């Protein structure tokens, strides 16, 4: 007589021949049985993030060619040191000559991206292979989550968000100042104006679509009907949050391209295209 395994797997004791229950799953020695190029997406992510980190690091320590009237690179804005090129933001202190003004600012955009919920997924899967892809086992023996150093630092994400939102305001301020010409007269617009404006918009969309921003706007509410304004704001942020990944990559590309455009202008490699 054939009996059903008590584990509910549909296997039979007669099928095994020893009368014992069938195993719950097959023992597979291979890391994965996938035959497609599952490694391609993690590899692309590694290449893209490394390229951005290397470029941003070089430009941050270069401490030159980040201002071309009336444009300033977003890597150096807000430029708070008295040693800054240009006059796009009030100078607040005198820093050592060997410290690039970008170092004071880039720690905050770097912080929000490093602790971002989406970017955690991106670099956990690509750099740490945890896991690298669906149905692919990770090489780590155990998982401790974000409860130990250094991953416990991910909990400060919301504080980097607050700083990033303030920097977003400054970047829009820079875009407004870009409606001037080299003499400081208003009513002019060049390609650089559009570059800075698009970059500021994409960075703002990235910050506002953040999961922490969504929680700040609509979190800890038991009844949305009693808070209609916060509900509307939460609904808007939720719509942005659905495309948080797209805003993350688009803003990362835009901030690098905006810096590159200012670099090319500052080194007289190209000339700014003036619309009026």
Contacts of 31 (CB under 8 A, 6+ apart): 136, 137
Q: Dump the DSSP string for 25-75.
A: S----SS----S-TTHHHHHHHHHHHHHHHHHHHHHHH--S-EETTEE-GG
From CA 86, how far away is CA 197, in angstroms rounded? 19
Task: Give the DSSP letter of residue 155.
Answer: G
**Does the pLDDT of residue 88 top 80, yes or no?**
no
Highest mean pLDDT among 101-105, 128-132, 138-142, 219-223: 101-105
**Does the pLDDT of residue 145 top 90, yes or no?**
no
7-18 in b/e form (b: 16+ CB < 10 A) is eeeeeebeeeee
Query: Where residue 57 falls among pLDDT bands split at 50, 70, 90?
Result: very high
Predicted confidence at residue 92, as pLDDT, reads 80
pTM exceeds 0.85 for this model: no
Predicted confidence at residue 17, as pLDDT, reads 55
Contacts of 127 (CB under 8 A, 6+ apart): 46, 49
User: Does residue 215 contact residue 155 with C-beta atoms inside 8 Å?
Assistant: no
Mean pLDDT of 271-276: 91
For the chain, domain boundaries: 34-266
Q: Give the number of other CB atoms < 10 A from CB of residue 61.
A: 12
Contacts of 104 (CB under 8 A, 6+ apart): 80, 81, 95
3-state class (DSSP) for residue 143: coil
Predicted confidence at residue 8, as pLDDT, reads 47
């Amino acid at each position: 007589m054939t009996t059903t395994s008590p584990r509910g797997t549909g296997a039979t004791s007669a099928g095994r021949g020893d009368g014992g229950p069938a195993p719950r799953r097959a023992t597979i020695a291979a890391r994965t049985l996938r035959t497609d190029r599952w490694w391609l997406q993690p590899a692309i992510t590694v290449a893209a993030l490394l390229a951005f980190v290397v470029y941003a690091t070089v430009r941050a320590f270069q401490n030159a060619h980040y201002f071309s009237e009336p444009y300033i690179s977003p890597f150096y804005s807000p430029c708070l040191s008295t040693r800054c090129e240009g006059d796009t933001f009030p100078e607040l202190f005198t820093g050592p000559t060997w410290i690039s003004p970008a170092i004071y600012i880039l720690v905050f955009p770097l912080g929000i991206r490093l602790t971002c919920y989406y970017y955690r997924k991106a670099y956990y899967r690509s750099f740490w292979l945890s896991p690298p892809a669906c149905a692919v086992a990770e090489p780590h023996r155990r998982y401790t989550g974000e409860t130990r150093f250094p991953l416990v630092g991910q909990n400060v994400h919301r504080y980097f968000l607050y700083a990033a939102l303030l920097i977003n305001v400054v970047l829009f301020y820079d875009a407004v100042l870009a409606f001037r010409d080299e003499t400081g007269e208003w009513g002019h617009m060049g390609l650089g104006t559009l570059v800075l404006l698009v970059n500021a918009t994409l960075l703002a969309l990235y910050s506002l679509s953040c999961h922490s921003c969504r929680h700040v706007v609509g979190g800890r509410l038991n009844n949305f009907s009693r808070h209609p304004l916060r509900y509307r704001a939460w609904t808007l942020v939720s719509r942005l949050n659905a495309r948080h990944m797209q805003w993350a990559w688009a803003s990362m590309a835009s901030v690098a391209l905006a810096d590159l455009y200012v670099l090319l202008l500052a080194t007289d490699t190209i000339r700014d295209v003036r619309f009026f």
